[in-house]
Structure 1
């Protein structure tokens, strides 16, 4: 007898009901309806089997069924392998009276079986089979009607996915925000914006190109607040590279049903030895989406989208046939059509404004049918990536003691706050932001041919690393911290460009500034420092100032190749290529991390102290007033040094922490970046939130009160609904780069350093930072 078929079913199995034995006629036994003559009965054995699925798209999820792997798969993320129970109902097809309800089949090494005794012959019977997972969720269901006429017959039941015909809802990666340039060998944060079903839990994964650097975290989960959300990851380019190279990475975002969208993006890494203004890493994004169970790819600049279906079936892949169709919403000209009813196939005449419904019906060799529908929205496959990085967008923010500077993607610099000693670089000592916007002064007047790639701010001075590897500094110079061989301030009554570059003897790849000293990491992997030499912070086995009457042409004896350098109030730390850290300078609060209060570098070389005793690999260092923090490869944060205000996150305000100690960021939370002020610390989390701890008498922690925090608070700072990709901490304030491309500052604002025009009040002490509008630098 031909089984009943169900058009539109997406995944099916065959249940074979074999009449194995026939009981003798039982007098007085009748069906649910009255019969003048009793009917003969039969004992029926139901056997459900599933062959191995085709390998075209076997589900990747673990099986919930241990007796027999494989089987069919629904289009929404589950398969026969997830079935843990099958129940069968048998009813009279005419009267609907039941013979069996919820008759449980039992698993066997080859499938499922169970014996149904005493079913009447010569009556029309309806068999209903339902398959469930371990949680009791209905996965597959099927029914057929048959009359048992002979002793041995076959009853076939088509089991289809219970969610057959549902529309696939897919997440969409619609924007990636990232720096226009990364300085060679140093990481930067990337923010990914996603749209999906409201409040949907999503996961993501990043696969870095071989030898193309790494991402932290490389995978994770997040839940949308509404229909949109974002997550932040940190990218670290490769540490060494012989020539300019492009690497292609893959990002995937997946929903609970197992459907995902993916995109590739490229990082272009330029080694520091390369001349010109291409220092650093340039990242751009090229969309090439794929959808789990439905894979799609569009080459930029074409109107063709290649689609491929992944199908798992209980029969061979060679028996599968495909029927693709697309129904546009409204009128589309020319009409989108598929080139062939094959897998894969190509949809012609795609445009970003195209909307409609894509349907795919898959039929296997037993005429089982699977139907998938996908609603195509506008701009699903953009012509070009939508990302920040325009010339006037903010690439970096840096906070000093009472002034702030922004580096834009076009390589120009804007500064505001206190103009004392010429630290803003505008050729005067005027304050900016007291009665005009931070952007009002325009770029710091540097030569038009010079592009800035990094900024460093000290207590009263500013330095810029140029794309050529040269360094310029301006502002306060009482200790030689500008490095020009004298102690005259620069930028207070002369143009910054008039004094030339700091003579380092070679190219720099990183710079940093402490209160009154400055250091540069050179393209040789060595370090040079200048300015105030007290406590050995310069690392030259003495306390003499450097740069006040000589050029900084001597290497600090760190003892190992260096990949990054950071300066605190009166100490300096180096991140080594090995992932270890070494510090020197003022050690009276334990900020050097060597389990003592000794200074290092005042009468010995920094190399003599060796590595800070700390297990694991360090990704980033931050040096504060008298404390230091490290971001570890695991995403944890460790701090040490002065803890009088809770800035090391140890839960108390007494004494100092002499060795690196892990900070409790919260269950399951990972950091992407850490920053330190005089007496407070902040971290950007992988969720895009920010937590700050330590001194908060002026709102430094951004919680809307003045209570200091000895550990990170439970909740992140309210940033007005935006995510953060970067944070910089000044003496007693912070500035974050937000996902909307704007900067937002909070804490002490007495010198207008927060960028809130005409407002010198503190922010974060009795209001949340998100209650203020951030600042930006639109083109004139």
Structure 2
């Protein structure tokens, strides 16, 4: 993980491990520092001393890890009081989710990125390092530290972000004010990011922008967009105005959109009547849908749970299994075993899911019927 200084005349220095009994399960890299989390829930950090989030160095310059005898057993653990579940290194700060699902952050804090209600630097991890308070009854599930800002997914799968926000709205609050430098900014006073009532499954903070993966498997990004880093087909900043968040926050274009006026030509389930591959024929091309995106096996399905969402993995099931749902009566169970109706779907070219396309194969149905099946 660090080799220290290289000898002056050829060869290479012996590998310097954080510790002989340190089994790393997570690595995180900031701009100029690195941290490792062990299988025992302990943390070590190294590289640039200041400004950084190393948490232990008592000097104002230099680095840790660029000279012999600084790594391995010589590199100290950070005493966070509890075992650590996750770490994330930002530009010049670091945050850790502890075993009790609380959060502690240290390092540079000029923009309130530590979320401690002030702007003072906290270079040391010690008994006086306070927890970052995100609200009463709140548990932190995942953390990401970015460029002078930080975001956390909470136990209800909502998202809170704090730190630098000027001038690009990277906190997703529809404004550019800094959050985290005043006591009233944090705790219950810190609002969640408006994701249009979609649960947040994953979040990553960049230098000046933030991206989240939501329950519908879409990616939504906000903040600086000068180089198209939000992936929405333009270079305008998103998130610095209130009207840009919530339902207005466009998904990142990761999948080819349907051509305007294109129609779904056919849908079939493998070679058998109850199980196999779910295939979609569209624009003369036949391919798998409702695949997790990793292996073909992920798309092999039983018909009544044929697809979590046609085209994506995160939606509702098309059919419910009558054997596992006693609320389904005989008539509904018969419907649950009926054929998949998916012909004559017309797409306008702006849809993210096939279920967003108009269904014209019968009475126009939208959403989920009481019987528990979706036709569109």
Smaller-chain TM-score range? 0.5 to 0.7
Native 8 Å contact 1:535 1:599 kept in 2:
no
1:502 to 4, 7, 17: 17
Mapping for residues 363-382 of structure 1, pairs under 5 Å: none
Counterpart of 2:125?
605
1:719 to 250, 254, 259: 254
Return closer, same or farther for 1:588/1:677 CA change in 2, 3 Å cut-off.
Answer: same
Q: Compute the displacement of 1:505 (Å).
A: 2.8
Counterpart of 1:514?
30
Return closer, same or farther for 1:707/1:576 CA change in 2, 3 Å cut-off.
Answer: same
2:208 to 673, 679, 682: 679
Counterpart of 1:643?
165
Matched, 1:532 2:48: yes
* Secondary structure at 2:174 match in 1: coil
Q: Compute the displacement of 1:656 (Å).
A: 4.4
Mapping for residues 153-164 of structure 1, pairs under 5 Å: none
Counterpart of 2:293?
740
**What are the superposed Cα offsets for residues 443-462 of structure 1, whole Å, 9 maximum, x if unpaired?**
xxxxxxxxxxxxxxxxxxxx
Return closer, same or farther for 1:596/1:509 CA change in 2, 3 Å cut-off.
Answer: same
2:4 to 485, 491, 510: 485
Return closer, same or farther for 1:739/1:700 CA change in 2, 3 Å cut-off.
Answer: farther
Q: Compute the displacement of 1:626 (Å).
A: 0.7
Mapping for residues 264-343 of structure 1, pairs under 5 Å: none
**What are the superposed Cα offsets for residues 144-203 of structure 1, whole Å, 9 maximum, x if unpaired?**
xxxxxxxxxxxxxxxxxxxxxxxxxxxxxxxxxxxxxxxxxxxxxxxxxxxxxxxxxxxx
Q: Compute the displacement of 1:558 (Å).
A: 1.7
Mapping for residues 4-15 of structure 1, pairs under 5 Å: none
**What are the superposed Cα offsets for residues 296-330 of structure 1, whole Å, 9 maximum, x if unpaired?**
xxxxxxxxxxxxxxxxxxxxxxxxxxxxxxxxxxx
Native 8 Å contact 1:680 1:694 kept in 2:
yes
Native 8 Å contact 1:583 1:606 kept in 2:
no
Output the CA distance in 2 between the equivalents of 1:487 and 1:599. 33
Counterpart of 1:581?
103
Output the CA distance in 2 between the equivalents of 1:571 and 1:626. 8
Native 8 Å contact 2:148 2:163 kept in 1:
yes
Unaligned runs of 5+ in 2: 258-290, 296-349, 353-376
Output the CA distance in 2 between the equivalents of 1:654 and 1:721. 36
Output the CA distance in 1 between the equivalents of 2:126 and 2:255. 44
Return the index of the structure with the highest Cα Rg.
1
Native 8 Å contact 2:41 2:83 kept in 1:
yes
TM-score (norm 1): 0.29
* Structure 1, 535-544 or 518-527: larger mean CA deviation: 535-544
Q: Compute the displacement of 1:657 (Å).
A: 4.2
Return closer, same or farther for 1:656/1:503 CA change in 2, 3 Å cut-off.
Answer: closer
Output the CA distance in 2 between the equivalents of 1:488 and 1:694. 44
Output the CA distance in 2 between the equivalents of 1:688 and 1:488. 49
Native 8 Å contact 2:4 2:16 kept in 1:
no
**What are the superposed Cα offsets for residues 554-578 of structure 1, whole Å, 9 maximum, x if unpaired?**
1112222211111011111111011
Output the CA distance in 2 between the equivalents of 1:508 and 1:719. 32
Q: Compute the displacement of 1:548 (Å).
A: 1.9
Counterpart of 1:162?
none
Return closer, same or farther for 1:690/1:485 CA change in 2, 3 Å cut-off.
Answer: same
**What are the superposed Cα offsets for residues 652-673 of structure 1, whole Å, 9 maximum, x if unpaired?**
1244443453343333211000
What is the aligned residue count?
A: 241
Native 8 Å contact 1:648 1:657 kept in 2:
no
Unaligned runs of 5+ in 1: 1-472, 474-482, 723-737, 743-767, 771-780
Matched, 1:591 2:113: yes
* Secondary structure at 2:51 match in 1: helix
Output the CA distance in 1 between the equivalents of 2:193 and 2:53. 30
Q: Compute the displacement of 1:627 (Å).
A: 0.4
Counterpart of 2:232?
703
Return closer, same or farther for 1:488/1:559 CA change in 2, 3 Å cut-off.
Answer: farther
1:652 to 175, 192, 200: 175
Output the CA distance in 1 between the equivalents of 2:225 and 2:106. 28
Output the CA distance in 2 between the equivalents of 1:525 and 1:536. 21
Return closer, same or farther for 1:607/1:687 CA change in 2, 3 Å cut-off.
Answer: farther
Output the CA distance in 1 between the equivalents of 2:56 and 2:35. 12
Native 8 Å contact 1:600 1:606 kept in 2:
no
Counterpart of 1:523?
39
* Secondary structure at 2:46 match in 1: strand
Output the CA distance in 2 between the equivalents of 1:541 and 1:560. 21
Q: Compute the displacement of 1:503 (Å).
A: 3.9
Return closer, same or farther for 1:517/1:669 CA change in 2, 3 Å cut-off.
Answer: same
TM-score (norm 2): 0.58
Output the CA distance in 2 between the equivalents of 1:650 and 1:610. 25
**What are the superposed Cα offsets for residues 15-42 of structure 1, whole Å, 9 maximum, x if unpaired?**
xxxxxxxxxxxxxxxxxxxxxxxxxxxx
* Secondary structure at 2:128 match in 1: helix
**What are the superposed Cα offsets for residues 341-362 of structure 1, whole Å, 9 maximum, x if unpaired?**
xxxxxxxxxxxxxxxxxxxxxx
Counterpart of 1:562?
84
Counterpart of 1:548?
66
* Secondary structure at 1:588 match in 2: coil
* Structure 1, 541-550 or 657-666: larger mean CA deviation: 657-666
Native 8 Å contact 1:591 1:642 kept in 2:
yes
Output the CA distance in 2 between the equivalents of 1:579 and 1:566. 15
Return closer, same or farther for 1:606/1:675 CA change in 2, 3 Å cut-off.
Answer: farther
Counterpart of 2:265?
none
Native 8 Å contact 1:530 1:546 kept in 2:
yes
Counterpart of 1:311?
none
Output the CA distance in 1 between the equivalents of 2:203 and 2:229. 15
Q: Compute the displacement of 1:580 (Å).
A: 0.7
Q: Compute the displacement of 1:499 (Å).
A: 5.0
